[in-house]
Amino acid sequence: MPLTTDGMSDDDVPQDRSTRRNAATALTMHDIARLAKVSTPTVSRVLNGSPLVAAKTRDRVLEVAGAHGYAVNRNAQKLRHRRTNTIAVMLDFGSHRHGAIGDPFIFELLAGVSEALSIRNQDLLLSPPGLESARDFRDFFRARGADGFIVLGQGTRDAMLRKLARENLPLVLWGAVAADAPYCAVGSDNRSGGTLAGNHFLAHGRKRWLFIGDIRHEELRLRYEGLQHAAIGRDDVTIELLPIASMAFTATAEAVAAYLEKSGAAHPDAVFAFSDTAAMAAIGSFRAIGLLAPRDFSLVGYNNIPPAAHFHPAITTIDQKTDLAGALLVEKLMQKIDGGRPLSVMLPTGIVLRET
């Protein structure tokens, strides 16, 4: 053992934190392998999360690495591999006023995706700027900005997404599931959701229905079609469409208030809103002119976000299985990145009956 001039061993010489930190940083995988009494490839497999290493060996390597302050340089690691281990998650900012998304439903989806990516040791890149066209997406992917894309909401971008899918860009999306779409989608049965809302109105004897939503969005178009389907053969039922330019709460409230002002005395007695947030906005606009749910009109929202149950009055809504969505989206994208051809999944919907 090397000795200092005063007879002390190197291990006995006091070191400050900076010196110890520098020493730990200088350690290599070869050093960790020597200390853990395993091969360097084994250390590499452990640090990359390979399932091929026995649990006992993995724990010993991680214990040694942790004790010596060894940290994986993830940027350098990415450069050594074909993949970036980064997934870009794209939000539909264009459907909200000033690009500000305030609907809790989107963040529930995002939380599920984030958790599923974390389990797979993937980084999440949230809506990188400048991706407005198919070319932007292609350039970003070819520059290795991300291994693939998860798109939360088709919005009015369906044509662009179809083009990207035909070019085999790795992407999956949350939205409407269409049989003719070239991309893999995970979404609820929007058409069935609309029919459930219409049946609810019929059960309560409502005859003047209002649908609130922009049917240029594929999901909302299917919900509107489902509502129309429920009224087939009912000549006494009328359905009006109120398109909303922005999905933001304030924009929806203003649009409903303007509609009510123009409609005069012939107010709708049933309202199907594109989301629970929109349903809350509509209730406020109706209340401002003295109309209350469920006394004066029935109302159905969509998404079953937690606040819907605690709003006054509690909102009847269409439930989507968002607890499954995040894991499914990530699983489907990983299949696509690995060269597979994942199939779309349509999740079931159900109506949650509350006060409205």
Count of C-beta atoms within a 10 Å radius of residue 8: 11
CA distances from 146 to 72, 80, 84, 277 (A): 20, 15, 6, 32
Same domain, 237 and 296: yes
Same domain, 327 and 183: yes
**Domain extent for 20:** 10-72
Residues 73, 62 contacting (CB under 8 angstroms) = no
Would you place residue 15 in the very low, low, confident or very high pLDDT band (cuts 50, 70, 90)?
very low
Residue 70 clears pLDDT 70, i.e. is over it = yes
Report the mean per-residue pLDDT for the chain: 86
Q: How far apart are CA 149 and CA 258, in angstroms?
A: 38
| Residue 97 belongs to domain with CATH number | 3.40.50.2300
| Residue 27 belongs to domain with CATH number | 1.10.260.40
Residue 14 clears pLDDT 50, i.e. is over it = no
Same domain, 16 and 98: no
* 285-312 confidence digits (pLDDT tens): 999 999 999 999 999 999 999 999 999 9
Same domain, 153 and 248: no
Same domain, 171 and 63: no
Spatial CB neighbours of 220, under 8 Å, sequence gap ≥ 6: 190, 213, 214, 274
Same domain, 131 and 163: yes
Residue 3 lies in a domain: no
Same domain, 204 and 315: yes
**Mean pLDDT for the stretch of residues 53-79:** 74
**Mean pLDDT for the stretch of residues 67-71:** 76
Residue 246 clears pLDDT 50, i.e. is over it = yes
Residue 237 lies in a domain: yes
Residue 114 lies in a domain: yes
Same domain, 195 and 182: no
pLDDT of residue 177: 92
Q: How far apart are CA 164 and CA 134, in angstroms?
A: 6
Same domain, 180 and 326: yes
pLDDT of residue 269: 97
b vs e for 20-41, b when ≥16 Cβ sit within 10 Å of the residue's Cβ?
eeeeeeebebebbbebbebeee
Query: Total structural domains in the chain?
Result: 3
Same domain, 242 and 205: yes
* 173-200 confidence digits (pLDDT tens): 999 998 899 999 999 999 999 999 999 9
Amino acid at 10: D
Task: Select from 72, 100, 122 the last residue of a domain.
Answer: 72
Residue 153 lies in a domain: yes
Task: Select from 46, 72, 98 the last residue of a domain.
Answer: 72
* 306-347 confidence digits (pLDDT tens): 999 999 999 999 998 887 899 999 999 999 999 899 999 999
Residue 25 lies in a domain: yes
Residue 172: both structure tokens together: 């999956």
Task: Select from 22, 46, 72 the last residue of a domain.
Answer: 72
Residue 140 lies in a domain: yes
Residue 352 lies in a domain: no
Residue 73 clears pLDDT 80, i.e. is over it = no
Residue 5 lies in a domain: no
Task: Name which residue leads in pLDDT, 315 or 11.
Answer: 315
Residue 53's SS3 state is: coil
**Rg, the chain, Cα only:** 27
Same domain, 128 and 144: yes
Residue 7 clears pLDDT 70, i.e. is over it = no
| H or E segment and range at residue 263 | helix 249-263
Same domain, 195 and 290: yes
pLDDT of residue 324: 86
Say how many residues make up the chain.
Answer: 356
Residue 68, class by beta-carbon neighbours within 10 Å (0-12 exposed, 13-18 middle, 19+ buried)? Answer: middle
